[in-house]
Amino acid sequence: MDPILRNLLALVSGKFTPRFIMDHRRIFIANLSKRLVGEENANLLGSILVSQFQAAAMERANIPEEERTDFTLFVDEFTNFATDSFSSSLAELRKYRTSFVLATQYLDQCRPEIRQAIFGNIGSMVAFAVGETDAAVLSREFGGGFDPGLFSNLGNGEICAKLLDHGCHSAPFLARTHPPMGKRYGKGTNLIRLSRQRFATPRARVEDKIKRWMSRQF
């Protein structure tokens, strides 16, 4: 009965699919702010989206590997959306040229099986400053060569890195990153407007279709 979920999930057909986004090098952004859609709605929609992109990645088994385009799925606060199948997907989806950027506040927010799957599938590791609890975990993952206090006392732009090179890990080392180099172009409003014109359906039309469909069902 929630109007946000009803309008999204009761669509008979959409104008794009996760597979279309992957294969055509498109960018898809879902704003699942709890303030805008509510906590339960955000968690449900996020879980559905992650699962849909996982399924779409595996569908690419029907095309040769060299023809699969690289795709990266960025998931902020991913612990709210990680389903039971998420752990196994981390290893399997590499074959389908799909990678993840998973953001969370600290490692204890992850269920143990998910945390193990993440560290088990990481090649190169780059660590910025973290809290004391996470510092102890990273110290072990880096082979114990650096004291946990080092990870919690890194300055802005300072990192500890352990790189995978031709299947072998290099010795961990300290380094410094480049400063931020992003640039804003002020085209966000136009991009949203054009995207809505091409891919969206007016809410009134969606709600009218749902209303007529429900009236036939009952």
Do 111 and 86 meet the contact criterion of CB atoms below 8 Å apart? Answer: no
Examine residue 142 and state whether it is found in any structural domain, yes or no. Answer: no
Residue-wise pLDDT for 155-205, tens only, equals 999 999 999 888 888 889 999 999 888 888 889 899 999 998 888 888 888
Give SS3 for 205. helix
Residue-wise pLDDT for 115-138, tens only, equals 888 888 888 899 999 999 999 999
Do 108 and 61 meet the contact criterion of CB atoms below 8 Å apart? Answer: no
Q: What is the pLDDT of residue 119?
A: 87
In angstroms, the CA 99 to CA 63 distance is 18
Average pLDDT of 49-59? 90
Examine residue 184 and state whether it is found in any structural domain, yes or no. Answer: no
Q: Return the amino acid letter for 133.
A: T
Q: What's the structural domain count of the chain? A: 1
- pTM summary value: 0.80
Examine residue 201 and state whether it is found in any structural domain, yes or no. Answer: no
Examine residue 169 and state whether it is found in any structural domain, yes or no. Answer: no
Average confidence score pLDDT of the chain: 87
Examine residue 168 and state whether it is found in any structural domain, yes or no. Answer: no
Confidence check: pLDDT of 206 > 70: yes
In angstroms, the CA 130 to CA 106 distance is 8
Examine residue 34 and state whether it is found in any structural domain, yes or no. Answer: yes
* Enclosing domain of residue 7: 3-121
Confidence check: pLDDT of 40 > 70: yes
Examine residue 80 and state whether it is found in any structural domain, yes or no. Answer: yes
Q: What is the pLDDT of residue 12?
A: 65
